[in-house]
Amino acid sequence: METMSSSNSLIAPFMEDINRIDFTMVKLKLQEPPYEGHGWSASQADIAEIEYKRFLALKRKYPEKDIVPHRDVDLFWHQHILDTENYAKDCEAIFGFFLHHYPYFGMNGPEDEQNLIDAFEETKKLYAKAFNAEYLAKPAKPKRCLAPKCRTQCKPVKCR
């Protein structure tokens, strides 16, 4: 698969080593049938890989911000985490530390939920600025929502 690049010179330095990470096995696992994976197509896995790499670049560029992944990015991240040895090695190479996953942001009452929504809106702005594109791509399946937390009316989900 072709590596993702950005025409924005402000984000390019954050992408170089991220683009060298091989996510072949993560994508293959996501393409496994639902009892093992998520039944994704190769195309959906390729798109999610690009978006995940962009997510990592934003996390790296804006470490003080809550960068909110959309659903496919979050699922890709979960699968990467399950490959514990490579995930730890990749985090060290990208961030210099283990990037922890906190899947409960937005679940601790109305204020926390609003913080999640605000962080998601900020993520969309940072993404547009960095990649000259809208944050949520068109879904691979026409009726499938790509916004995180579809189980709660497609509100954004934050994993930090």
In a domain, 5, yes or no: no
Host domain of residue 76: 12-152
Any domain includes 106 = yes
For residue 70, is it within any domain? Answer: yes
pTM listed for this prediction: 0.80
Q: What is the pLDDT of residues 45-94, one digit of tens each?
A: 999 999 999 999 999 999 999 999 999 999 999 999 999 999 999 999 99
Q: Is residue 65 part of a domain?
A: yes
- Predicted confidence band of residue 128 (pLDDT cuts 50, 70, 90): very high
Q: Is 2 within a domain? A: no
Q: At 136, which amino acid appears?
A: L
Helix, coil or strand: residue 105: strand
Residue 43 lies in a domain: yes
Residue 6, domain member (yes or no): no
Task: Give the chain's domain count.
Answer: 1
Identify the helix (H) or strand (E) that includes residue 75: helix 71-82
Note whether residue 127 is domain-resident.
yes
Give me the residue label for tokens 């942001």.
105
Task: Tell me the backbone φ, ψ of residue 105, rounded to 5 degrees.
Answer: -60, 130
What are the pLDDT digits (tens) for 4-35?
Answer: 444 567 798 889 999 999 999 999 999 999 98
